[in-house]
A and B are shown apart, each in its own frame.
Chain A
Amino acid sequence: MSATHPGSGGYIVPTRDVASEELVLNMGPQHPATHGVLRVAVKTDGEVVLDCEPMVGNIHRCKEKIAENVTYVQFMPYTDRLDYLAAMNNEECYARAAEKLLGLKLPERIEYLRVIFAEAGRISSHLMSIGTYGLDVGAITPFLYCFREREEANHLFEKISGGRMLYHYMRIGGVARDPDDAWIQRLLQFLDQVEEKMDEYNTLMTWNKLFQERTMNIGVLSREKALAFGITGPALRASGIDWDCRRDDPYGIYDRFKWEVPVADGKHGTLGDCWNRHYIRALEMKQSISIVRQAIDKMPKANPDELPPPESPHKPFLAKGVPRSLQAPKGAEVYVRSENPRGELAFYMVSDGGKSPYRVKVRGPSFCNIALLPEVTRGYLLSDLVAIIGSIDIVLGEVDR
């Protein structure tokens, strides 16, 4: 006698005559594979996951309340702490939201710097997520290799912003500092280095038979489910949906670059499985490298009329005419989104005419993506659960906010 458990995994568990009961495992908040402080209550039959429930909120800081009590400028460093592995991208999104709310126009050079830093941040963040995914499935060495490269990215960001992880580099109406040529050269070297090492990671992970065995056909997320659950980012594209809001709803100056949006085609594994999610990230890094190179090529010199050099090294590099005290018109509201490494981050901001926003809502991609966890894990093994959490790639700072 045997029965197949509901769910897409379809592992067969014999039904027994002996009295047995389900084992409820409390995975996290202190568990190595939950990427921070996620807690998952897993109901298992032996090793088969019958059901699971992600419980979030362990590092909830009520950032949205903080935003209502600080000025537009003061909230910028808090956005770093949302998705702390891709702080540049958060800042970029918030800066754009605030600028749209306040009606600021940006000089060309700043736009290009935004793109360069956002894409470099994406490379750095994807390095981290690919590395930790290796760790999740038991390959320890790729993790350290990825960190070797991420270290270089950290050095670069530290040189320009002073922070290795939480940069506070983007400013409303500008950036903190204008990078010099030496820095740009070093960034280009970093890109070459990552491009070269990508093949190494792919040999160690993507095309490794054991890695494929562990991740292919696991945690399959269908197109329909991905849409219905509001999944965004690499996970959406891994399900075969050709959507990238950098290309399809272009913001900033993304429409000026030529690049391809990697979309899973189902040639390897199943469409929407863990392997495809991982592979999309690896491909995205290559595209980001190309975007950064194009942006560096095209970036104009600063025009002193609209972008004067800062009076002192301690002053940010802002466009001319950005007021010291920012105030949005009463009743103005914006909803601005950007393609973050983990999906679409969005800021909904409402102003009442005061110096601080009346309401800020952060739509964190990780928050939406992790809601799906029970749907894709039912019926798989406990080991698969870890692989699935890793492939969805969440950052708890953004889930809990």
Chain B
Amino acid sequence: MTVTEIGALLKERFGEKILEVVDDERHGHVRVAADAWVAVATFLRDDPRTRMEMCHDVTAVDWIEHFDVVVHLYSLAKKHKVALKTKTPSRDDATCPSLTGVWPAADWHERETWDLMGVRFTGHPDLRRILLPEDWEGHPLRKDEGNPLEYHGIPGIAAIRGAEERLREEELAKKKQRAGGHPGPHPAVGSHPTDGVTPGVKP
């Protein structure tokens, strides 16, 4: 079945809970209202016409105002696929019903999505951080999340970059001082290896 056919099937069964069916050459998906999320998933799994046995992936996309939760489903028996999408109510209320009851495979994917994106899956039996340490603050894949400055005394990349820049400025200042007395290094050669421009080769 194509995504359009699956979408028609779902529309017939769930009516206006199916918000949108997109089937372009790149990606086919069905947008579902959040309150029908689990029901649609269960239907897709159990209906003999669809038989989506495999939950391939659960993830989320940050669209600033809200999050899109995306699930990719495959049927090995029928050899077809569909993606389901739903919106979280808002950015602050980033919740979505959990699919762990439908496919156990969703367990770790949802934990990962919670960990990295901060989408809370209601009904998940064990929603803990999975990749990041327990005491980590924030959800790094959110668009407003910057680089952390430090974690337990380990400087973050932002702190390291700041320190590097300071060092580079100091180095440049020293060079300027020396350049006053005698000719300094070739002007094209910077203090940092990546700044160096070898003549003849275009950067």
Contacts and interface: CB of A to CB of B under 8 A. Distances in A.
Interface of A: 56-57, 60, 62, 64-65, 100-101, 227-230, 241, 243, 248-249, 332-335, 337, 344, 346, 348, 350, 358-359, 361, 363, 367-368, 371, 400-401
Given A248-B79, A249-B79, A230 B56 contact: yes
Interface of B: 26-27, 53-57, 59, 61-62, 70, 72, 76, 79, 81, 83, 103-105, 107-109, 112, 116, 130-133, 140-141
Given A333-B27, A335-B83, A346 B116 contact: no
B26 A348 contact: no
A148 to B, nearest CB: 36
A339 to B, nearest CB: 13
A293 B56 CA distance: 32
Q: Which of A64, A65, A228, A361: most chain B CB closer than 10 A?
A: A361
Contact of A228 (B27, B70, B83, B104): B104
Given A228-B105, A249-B79, 8 more contacts: A56-B130, A228-B103, A229-B105, A346-B72, A359-B62, A363-B57, A368-B105, A401-B131
Given A62-B116, A346-B57, A400-B131, A368 B108 contact: yes
B50 to A, nearest CB: 14
B141 A348 contact: no
Contacts of B130: 56-57
Contacts of A249: 79, 81
A60 B116 CA distance: 11
Contact of A332 (B26, B103, B140): B26
B116 A227 contact: no
Closest 10 CB pairs of A and B: A230-B105, A57-B131, A371-B108, A361-B59, A363-B57, A60-B131, A227-B53, A333-B27, A359-B61, A243-B76
A56 to B, nearest CB: 7
A64 B141 CA distance: 7
A227 B72 contact: no
Given A227-B53, A227-B54, A346-B57, A60 B132 contact: yes
Contact of A65 (B61, B79, B141): B141
B133 A57 contact: yes
Contacts of B61: 350, 358-359
Contact of A248 (B26, B76, B109): B76
A150 B96 CA distance: 46
Given A60-B131, A62-B116, A367-B108, A227 B76 contact: yes
A241 B104 CA distance: 18
Given A101-B26, A348-B70, A56 B131 contact: yes
Nearest to A64: B141
Contacts of A229: 104-105
A243 B56 CA distance: 14
Nearest to B102: A228
Main secondary structure of the interface of A (DSSP, over half): mixed
B76 A348 contact: no
Contacts of B116: 62, 64
A335 B72 contact: yes
Q: Which of A62, A248, A335, A337: most chain B CB closer than 10 A?
A: A335
Contact of A344 (B53, B56, B104, B105): B56
A344 B56 CA distance: 9
A115 to B, nearest CB: 21
Contacts of B112: 367
9 contacts: A56-B130, A64-B141, A227-B54, A241-B76, A248-B79, A249-B81, A335-B72, A346-B56, A367-B108
A227 B55 CA distance: 9
Contacts of A333: 26-27
Contacts of B103: 228, 230
Contacts of B72: 335, 346, 348, 363
Contacts of A368: 105, 108-109
Q: Which of B76, B79, B83, B112: most chain A CB closer than 10 A?
A: B76
Contacts of A350: 61
A364 to B, nearest CB: 10
Contacts of B27: 332-335
A260 B135 CA distance: 49
B79 A230 contact: no
Q: Which of B55, B62, B112, B131: most chain A CB closer than 10 A?
A: B131
Contacts of B76: 227, 241, 243, 248
A74 to B, nearest CB: 14
A60 B76 CA distance: 31
A232 to B, nearest CB: 8
A284 B70 CA distance: 32
Contacts of B70: 348
A346 B133 CA distance: 25
